[in-house]
Amino acid sequence: MKAAYIKAYGGPDKVEIGEQSKPEVRTGDVRIKMKAASVNPIDWKTANGDLKALIKPPFPIMLGSDGAGIIESIGEGVSNFKIGDEVFFRCHKMDTGTFAEYFSVPAELVALKPKNMSFIEAASIPLIGLTVTQSLTEKADMVSGSKVLIHAGAGGVGTFAIQYAKACGAYIATTASKKRNALLSELGANEIIDYHTQNIEDVLSDYDIVLDTLGPSVHTASYKTLKKGGVLVTVLGIPDNETIAEYGANFMVKIVARMHNKKMHKLAAKHGALYKHHLMYASGSQLAEIAKLIEAGKIKAIIDSTYPLDQVQAAFERSMTGRAQGKIIITMD
């Protein structure tokens, strides 16, 4: 089968498209004939070598971490899916390779594709959907009536987060350039801050939650928008100490992580707030709940662009600009 992979770390030009063995179907797995997969920052960061201090899989490293397709084969012990089912999924954190014609994945990480979405649209959802729902509900305890600031509302995470928070009854502010206002209002944003001309701390106050998709550069200003006891959840940067330990990081990485996280918590405490980092985990049952919201018309896919499998390099370059509006998709057909 054709697949995208790297044999050495570097930029997008290190990505190769070539023949790889069709994946086996292990006990508890389903093998999926891939139709589409989404590009996420973790994909090109892996190719660049940015994550090698945390994760060092052997070469060649297969690329791609979520997607959608049709179940082509079923492993022993799987009873909740059948051949021909249209599904979407996010793979385990180190079991990557969805930029390929076939992919095998534990059935527990798979959910039926929303009936009102194409494969391209469904492929855009798993990683960002799980990241958002877990961050806002498990880490930040968002409820109906919560006031939520979502940074970079026009990005892949941001467009989903606005819709999800709206579906949960939250009041939403977001940051974006002015030209994104129409889209973000349509998605459900109550207030849109033009980061070119406005400072969030001058406009917003008494918020319950900040969802950070930009990094530490926005933390100080973000804390000034939160009420006492408010929560900033970031999905970027160095994970918390417990997650670092789960990855089996070496001693020096653990030391750096502890120092970083101590600094982050100290800054939050200075403003009477809480700092939390979230690294998404795969879950088929949670994707099934997200699918219900999609089928109910509460969440739609926002697609920036699509690229065929042999143009993964170009897709990475587009993602690395930081200017994508919604998700970038790799198609297999």
- The helix or strand, by DSSP H or E, that contains position 148, with its residue range, turns out to be strand 147-150
Note the pLDDT of residue 244: 85
Positions in the chain short of pLDDT 70: none
Which pLDDT score, from 0 to 100, does residue 40 have? 96
Q: What is 127-277's CATH number?
A: 3.40.50.720
Is the CB of residue 231 less than 8 Å from the CB of residue 273?
A: yes
The tokens 């959907």 sit on which residue?
Answer: 129
What pLDDT sits at residue 186? Answer: 97
Res 321: pLDDT: 95
CATH topology of domain 2-125+301-331: Quinone Oxidoreductase; Chain A, domain 1 (3.90.180)
Phi, psi of 17 (to 5 degrees): -115, 120
The span from the CA of 147 to the CA of 157, in Å, is 18
- The answer to whether the predicted template modeling score (pTM) of the entire model surpasses 0.85 is yes
CB-count exposure of residue 159 (10 Å: 0-12, 13-18, 19+): buried
pLDDT on residue 162? 98
Neighbour tally for 3: CB within 10 Å: 27
pLDDT for 56: 79
Tokens of residue 330, six digits: 């790799």
Q: Please give the distance of CA 325 from its chain centroid, rounded to a whole number.
A: 14
Domain boundaries, the chain: 2-125+301-331, 127-277
pLDDT of residue 55: 78
Residue 171's pLDDT is 98
| Bond prior to 60 in cis (omega within 30° of 0) | yes
